[in-house]
Amino acid sequence: MKKYKKIVHLTPLDQRRFKSLYIFGLLIILCLFGRLIKLQVFNASDLQREARLLQSFKVNPLKKRRSIVDRNNRLIAYDKPLYKLWAHPKYFNFIGDSANRVRSIKEVAKKLSPILNIQDEILMKKFNNKIGGIMLLDKISEEKAEKIKNLQISGLDLFKYSQRYYPQGELYSNLVGFVNHENKGSAGLELYLENQIKVFKKSNFLKRGGDGTPLPDNSAPGDFISDYKSLGLTIDSKLQKASYSALSKQVSKWKAKKGFAIVMDVNNGQILSLVTAPTYDPNKFWQYDSELFKGWYSQDIFEPGSTFKPINLALALEEKVIQKDGLVEDNGKINVGGWTLSNWDKKGNGYIDYPKLLQVSSNVAMVKIMQNLDPAIYWDLLKNLGINKNLETDIYESTAGQLKKKDLFVNQSIEPAVASFGKGFSISPLKLVQLHAALANGGFEVTPHVTTNFKEKEYENSKKQFFSHEVSKTVLEWMESVVDKGSGSSAKIEGYRIAGKTGTSLKALNGSYTRKKVCSFVATLPVNDPKYVVLVVVDEPSEFHAYGSTVAVPVAKEIIESLIVIEKIPPNIKDHEIIVKKP
């Protein structure tokens, strides 16, 4: 069948309709042109500002402080990422809901409660019938925050922040300290080394492309690199734990006010462990008395008592007022300037050599020895040891020791007499450690420190030398006899040569001595190759029979046993011979 094409007849356009369309189109063009002029000319600056806000965003550094780690890189303190959960009830909407649907608080609480481990009713009470922004909870872990994100509930916002955390709790508190609620160092290393721990990182502005990709602009190299540095300590956590365990048990047993124990490398001043008891949990510092925050081992001073006798003997040897194989008569009492001085047990020991002097801890023998030394020279020697100076260290700002004025020391014969057995002047426990380290390492001054990047003071020629190598070796061997057969005998360990000296001093108050004691013990090992010094100080043990030998020595022995294992210190071959039978 043949198909025919349909013919359409065109009619001319109505002139009035054409004019109307023309005028309408012209008006639209004029309006658009006017709008363009308004945007480009009159609103240009406002639009540029809004564009910048949309195209750029500010990045603040989350990590505020560097981590603190021990010598084996175990964490001691770090910034822990946490979250705050904010809720906006008027925007509550679940995934798949229509845009205008608003979910109830009850529905949202039902989904949140299993994640937050909070009952629905308790969670709902936090809203208090508010529909504005509400801070529901803080200190939310990353794991829980991720679960909340996965709910994809509109109206819930998570704000990320960091909080200082101390995973080892009380073990390091008296050394490391803590930060306050404003993330500022408030005690210990956190305060004293604030500038080394705090991350000084500026905020950065990023530009975004159309797909949201950050586009760095005018940024210096490293601006967007995270700070992964940490503050490294010389402390060994295993030894720290063993030291704290030994010390805290003894402080508790003797109902003492406080105790201190330290292990230090005598050759470089590196501290391997430093503990005090009682202590506190830095994660909950607000629950404790602020007196516990003090680093008293460098800020408090005490009369060292008999633990200073080896130092005085070294000074006497250096000045040649005694000979290595000499003897001294101990009558049990001696009168000096109208004062009667006696031994701790009121008994005499007859003629004794210097190892025996240390074994029985004779005060009278020490007075007689130091009377051979000119008081002015004696005072100068004590000053040269830095008795009355601040100890330069990275731990705390130390308190300078107290030494009587020179004219009083020279003109009052009782002053050098009592100084001979560690009385009449005061030093910090940390200073006593430094002096015994010098006795052990050949006479050289080292600075006690806990950070791995600590630089010892450089002297013009060499490190300051307090004693000659020969004198140090001699006195150390005399101290060894104290552990072998003297007041420190309970610290003896088979196969190891250990030198030591006990000390028991009465505390002074308002110019007179009280019945309160400070019991101490200092040990150096191994004598054949000195490497470590251990000092234990227990303040105000309550029992009457408290002495350095009964209170401090047992703590030191436990610490030394742990030190031997951790540092793999071999026994002395001569004292620990291995017999091999021939086949």
| Tens digit of each residue's pLDDT (9 = 90 or more) over 263-295 | 999 999 999 999 999 999 999 999 999 999 998
pLDDT at position 576 is 46
Residue 153 pLDDT more than 70?
yes
CB-based contacts of 158, cutoff 8 Å, min separation 6: 83, 84, 85, 86, 140, 145, 148, 149
| Structural contact between residues 478 and 282, judged by C-beta atoms closer than 8 angstroms | no
Residue 369 CB neighbour total at 10 angstroms: 23
b/e string for 29-44 if b means 16 or more Cβ within 10 A?
eeeeeeeeeeeeeeee
**Rounded distance between C-alpha atoms, residue 260 and residue 248, angstroms:** 9
Q: Which of 45-54, 134-143, 360-369 has the highest mean pLDDT?
A: 360-369
306 is catalytic: yes
**Rounded distance between C-alpha atoms, residue 141 and residue 161, angstroms:** 11
Of 407, 428, 147, the residue nearest 299 (C-alpha): 428
Query: Using only C-alpha atoms, what is the Rg of the chain?
Result: 38
Opening angle at CA 546, ends 545 and 549, nearest 5: 110
Tokens of 265: 């490398």
pLDDT at position 286 is 93
Residue 460 pLDDT more than 50?
no
Burial class (CB in 10 A: 0-12, 13-18, 19+), 179: buried
Residue 194 CB neighbour total at 10 angstroms: 14
Q: Which of 65-69, 95-99, 211-215, 463-467 has the highest mean pLDDT?
A: 65-69
pLDDT digits (tens, 9 = 90+) for 527-579: 999 999 999 999 999 877 899 999 999 999 999 999 999 999 999 866 544 43
Q: In whole angstroms, what separates CA 530 from the centre of its chain?
A: 27
Q: Sorting pLDDT into bands at 50, 70 and 90, what band is 92? A: confident
| Structural contact between residues 542 and 256, judged by C-beta atoms closer than 8 angstroms | yes
Tokens of 234: 């010389």
Of 241, 204, 196, the residue nearest 220 (C-alpha): 204
Q: Side chain identity at 487, as an amino acid letter?
A: S
| Structural contact between residues 187 and 293, judged by C-beta atoms closer than 8 angstroms | yes
Mean of the per-residue pLDDT values of the chain: 86
Q: Find the mean pLDDT for residues 219-231.
A: 58
pLDDT at position 221 is 47
Q: Find the mean pLDDT for residues 240-265.
A: 96
| Structural contact between residues 133 and 87, judged by C-beta atoms closer than 8 angstroms | yes
| Distant-in-sequence contacts of 318-323, Cβ < 8 A, 24+ apart | 318/381, 318/467, 318/468, 318/471, 319/373, 319/377, 319/381, 321/369, 321/372, 321/373, 322/354, 322/369, 322/372
Backbone angles phi, psi at 60, to 5 degrees: -100, 140
Backbone angles phi, psi at 45, to 5 degrees: -65, -40
H/E run at residue 506: strand 499-509
Task: Spot the catalytic one: 243, 298, 306, 549.
Answer: 306
Backbone angles phi, psi at 153, to 5 degrees: -95, 120
**Rounded distance between C-alpha atoms, residue 242 and residue 430, angstroms:** 20
**Rounded distance between C-alpha atoms, residue 550 and residue 544, angstroms:** 11
**Rounded distance between C-alpha atoms, residue 234 and residue 193, angstroms:** 15
| Structural contact between residues 276 and 294, judged by C-beta atoms closer than 8 angstroms | no
**Rounded distance between C-alpha atoms, residue 345 and residue 332, angstroms:** 8
Residue 234 pLDDT more than 90?
yes
Structure letter (DSSP) for residue 290: G
Domains and CATH numbers, the chain: 59-205+228-232 (3.90.1310.10), 237-566 (3.40.710.10)
What percent of the chain shows pLDDT beyond 90?
57
